[in-house]
Chain A
Amino acid sequence: MGMTGVLRPGHAAVRVLDMKEAMHFYGEVLGLIETGRDSYGRVYYRAWDERDHNSIILREADQAGIDFFGFKVDSPATLDKLEADVRAYGYPTERIPAGDLLQTGERVRFEIASGHAIELYAEKGKANSPQMVDNPPPWNPESERGIAPIRFDHGLLYGPDIEKVQDFFVNVLGFYLTEQILLEDGKTQLAIWLACSNKAHDIAFVRHPEPNKLHHVSFLLESWEKVLRAADIMSMNRISIDMGPTRHGVTRGTTIYAFDPSGNRFETFAGGYQTYPDWDPLTWTWEEVGAAVYYHDRQLNPAFLEVVT
């Protein structure tokens, strides 16, 4: 397949209540690599197998949650085109200068119907060291330190008007719907999963009355065994686990939901399937919403729909 336009989730900026605690968690327990700090006090991380300079950006604030979620696009020309398309759709856009985020080119930011700030950008500094790209070994010390996810993979965001969110992502940004959960009426969507690649999801949304909420940012692991290892590391470090290890019906991913020290949920997951844009979306009915989210328990925990930052 040819992957063009929007390539992948590239960065998420997460608010933390205490930077020192957050850095211990993201750097040592989750095992991301710190790649920089900026004049605003933001701290930058990437996962060991990522090729760009940063993917997770932390900012200390008096409330937890997400500042913005960014997608990398394939070129500056695509960035210009998508900026025009977003404006033509009726959403105002803002250009944030190159360098505002470390080693990151110009970003185009806009607010979507769910209240989230979404960004597109075409350029980010490369993290490639010769060890990573010339005769690379299959693993290295950084891939074994802490939970050590392969990459920042996707996010699940909560807010209103998710049908408008879907229309925008599909018709402006070129995503496609991979899965959905419907409410009792058999029509209204409770949740949507969207892909810009052949991953089962690059971003997902759950309908929620409050705008601009974060359910989780997700990190990819290689195997179910690594998911179990992640659970061990979480318990060893007294990390607050929400659910799992278990499996999602949606995407078939094996998963743990847990919370960072500021209460922002994160996921460590493995598996899932590959999709193609010509596939019909998978639909979960209201009767099976429990199995859609937690395949083994077949019931939601109250926190899935209620606990967000």
Chain B
Amino acid sequence: MATHTVRFVETGETLACNDRLTLLQAMERLGRKGIPVGCRNGGCGVCKVRVLEGSCERRVMSRAHVAIEEESAGYALACRIIPTSDLCVTVIGKMGRAFARPGQDRKLTGE
């Protein structure tokens, strides 16, 4: 079992991630924070990241959140990628403040 180091560019923090867990699972199991956690299954989009360096295995994820052209630019949902090398990532997804009121706009989650 290989272990890879994932580095978050905003904070410089690192996370050890083995090649059997998704990036999100690796983070959650250690009780770490940084990437918002939603459905964990590729549907909701809140754990969106961009892989700036390194390689990973990707599982199917909702096109509502990662378009094809985005995917080729390194965007992914952290719950659907398994690092196959050391990675450098930036966190895109946000768990915003959602209390929507009539007439009040807010930025869409993870978009």
Chain A residues within CB distance 8 Å of chain B: 17-18, 62-65, 160, 183, 188, 190, 207-210, 240, 242, 259-265, 302-303, 305-309
Contact = CB atoms under 8 A, between A and B. Distances in A.
A188 B101 CA distance: 8
Given A260-B41, A263-B41, A307 B62 contact: no
A17 B44 contact: no
Contact of A64 (B62, B95, B100): B62
Interface stretch (B11-19, B48-56, B83-91, B102-110): B102-110
Nearest to B43: A263
A209 B44 contact: no
Nearest to A263: B43
A63 to B, nearest CB: 4
A64 B43 contact: yes
A63 B41 contact: no
14 contacts: A63-B65, A64-B42, A65-B43, A65-B64, A188-B101, A188-B102, A207-B102, A208-B98, A209-B105, A259-B40, A302-B36, A302-B98, A303-B46, A307-B39
Nearest to A261: B41
Interface of B: 36-44, 46, 60-65, 95-96, 98-102, 105-106, 108-109
B62 A62 contact: yes
A63 B64 contact: yes
Contacts of A305: 98-99
B108 A263 contact: no
B95 A263 contact: no
B43 A262 contact: yes
Contacts of B41: 240, 259-263
A263 to B, nearest CB: 2
A208 B60 contact: no
B105 to A, nearest CB: 7
A259 B37 CA distance: 12
B100 A309 contact: no
B40 A17 contact: no
A190 B99 CA distance: 8
A259 B79 CA distance: 13
Contacts of A261: 41
Contact of A183 (B38, B42, B101): B101
